[in-house]
Structure 1
Amino acid sequence: MKKDILKTAVELFLTYGFKSVTMDDIANALGMSKKTIYQYFENKTVLVEESVMYLFQTISSGIEDIRDLEKNPIEEIFEIKRFLMKNLKDEKSSPQYQLEKYYPKIFKDIKERQFCVMEDCVTCNLERGVKMGLYRKDINVDFVSKIYFTCMMALKDKELFPLDNFSMQTLMNNYLEYHLRGICTSNGIELIDNYLKINQN
């Protein structure tokens, strides 16, 4: 039952935002009373915190599964992007903004966890890419991994990138191509071009 509540809460939070969704909304979506939800979660803040952690663990596990496939580093990045877009539902409601504004402690904690996971993922990706001759040997791996995380977070800033002007899909596609073309060798550029030709409309 608790897992069902978390799944539904995550779905609603991502679709409508952490502030916008009420306990009544979640109860109605599940076809149960609020009293039942409160048996598992003391209040909305607790539910938000556990929902965020549930989503984080789901995404972290999915990223690890993709990394275990040991695809070439360029294809791996695009596969992770596709997985994130599927699980974050295009983030049309600006959930990150609402989480940061209304639940700052939860936001700070999850951002630190996200950074640890992404830094490890990106660092390994960069190091593999250099060894395979797809990324330039002269890149500063530590710098690039930190810039990558910072820019990915910035894409979700709706003041910088209003939803009316930029879809998350477009932002992610443009940023990944920007990122990769800045660090790739000629062999890597050729691989990007082939991948985009086959997989992008």
Structure 2
Amino acid sequence: MKQEILIKASDLFLDLGFKSVTMDDIAREMGVSKKTIYSHFENKTKLVEAATMYVFHAVSCGINEICALNKNPILELYEIKKMLMEHLKNEKTSPQYQLQKYYPKVYNTLHKKQYQIMYECVLRNVEKGIKLKIYRENLNIGFVAKIYFSGVTSIKDNRLFPEKDFPVWELMDDYLEYHLRGIVTPKGRKLLNQIINSNQD
């Protein structure tokens, strides 16, 4: 039952937001009593914490699985972006912003974990791209990894990028293309254009 609660709560939090969803909502959606939920999670904060770690673990496993396929680095980043959007349901309620505002301790823990996995992922991606001569060899790899994470975090801020002006799918596509065009070689640019054109078909 604990796992079922975790799955349902995670879905609701990502769909409707951490602030909006109550323990009553989760109980009603599951057809169980609120007491049942409290028998597994002593309060909503504990449930939010468990749900964010559950989603983080699923995303981390997804990233590792994609990286293990050893695809070319440009395609790898597009595959990771696609997987993230599916897992995070397009983040239409900006869950990270709500998490930061209403559950700052949970957010800070999650943020550190996200940074670690994304930093290492981009480091490996850039190193591989340089070896394949599709990324420029003079790149400061650490800088690229940090600035990529910083950008991904910033574009999730609704105050900077309101969804009515910047739909999430388009924003993620635009940011990834922006990132890649700054680091590719002419060879990499051809590959990037092929991937972009195939995604538009």
TM-score interval for Structure 1 and Structure 2 normalised by the shorter chain:
over 0.9
The equivalent of 1:10 in structure 2 is 10
Give the match for residue 30 of structure 2: 30
> Which position in structure 2 is the counterpart of 1:167?
167
* Residue 185 (structure 1) aligns with: 185
What is the CA deviation profile of residues 43-93 of structure 1, one whole-angstrom value per residue up to 9, with x for unaligned ones?
A: 000000000000000000011000000000000000000000001111111
Separation of aligned partners in 2, 1:191 and 1:8:
40
**8 A contact 1:139–1:183 mirrored in 2:** yes
Query: Which residue of structure 2 aligns with residue 106 of structure 1?
Result: 106
Structure 2 Cα separation of the partners of residues 200 and 25 of structure 1:
39
Question: Paired residue for 1:91?
Answer: 91
Aligned to 1:56: 56
1:126 alignment counterpart: 126
Letter in 1 for 2:124: C
CA shift at 1:144, angstroms?
0.6
Q: Distance in 1 between matches of 2:192 and 2:97?
A: 32
Offset, 1:200 = 2.4
Query: With structure 2 as the length reference, what TM-score do the two structures score?
Result: 0.99
Q: SS of 1:183's equivalent?
A: coil
Uncovered stretches (5+) of structure 2, i.e. residues with no partner: none
- 3-state secondary structure, aligned to 1:71: coil
Please state whether the residue corresponding to 2:81 is helix, strand or coil.
helix
Letter of the structure 1 residue corresponding to residue 147 of structure 2: I
- Counterpart-to-counterpart distance in 1, 2:136 and 2:63: 24
Equivalent-residue separation in structure 2 for 1:106 and 1:60 (angstroms)? 17
Q: Distance in 1 between matches of 2:33 and 2:53?
A: 24
Q: State how far apart, in whole Å, the 1-side matches of 2:13 and 2:35 are.
A: 20
Report the Cα offset of residue 181 of structure 1: 0.5
In the superposition, the TM-score normalised over structure 1's length comes to: 0.99
- Aligned 1:33-48 pairs, distance under 5 A: 33-48=33-48
Question: Which whole-Å CA distance do the structure 2 matches of 1:166 and 1:32 have between them?
Answer: 38
User: Partners in 2 of 1:114 and 1:140 — Cα distance?
Assistant: 21
Q: Which runs of 4+ in 1 moved over 4 A?
A: none
Offset, 1:199: 1.8
Percent identity at matched positions? 53
CA distance in 1, matches of 2:152, 2:7: 25
SS in 1 for 2:107: helix
Q: In structure 1, what is the equivalent of residue 70 of structure 2?
A: 70
Instruction: Please tell me whether residue 141 in structure 1 is matched to residue 151 in structure 2.
Output: no
- Residue 197 (structure 1) shift: 1.1
Please, what is the CA RMSD of the aligned residues? 0.6
- For structure 1, the 5+ residue unaligned runs are none
C-alpha distance in 2, partners of 1:40/1:5? 9
Separation of aligned partners in 2, 1:200 and 1:21: 36
The amino acid across from 1:41 in the alignment is F
Q: Is the 8 A contact 1:90 1:167 kept in 2?
A: no
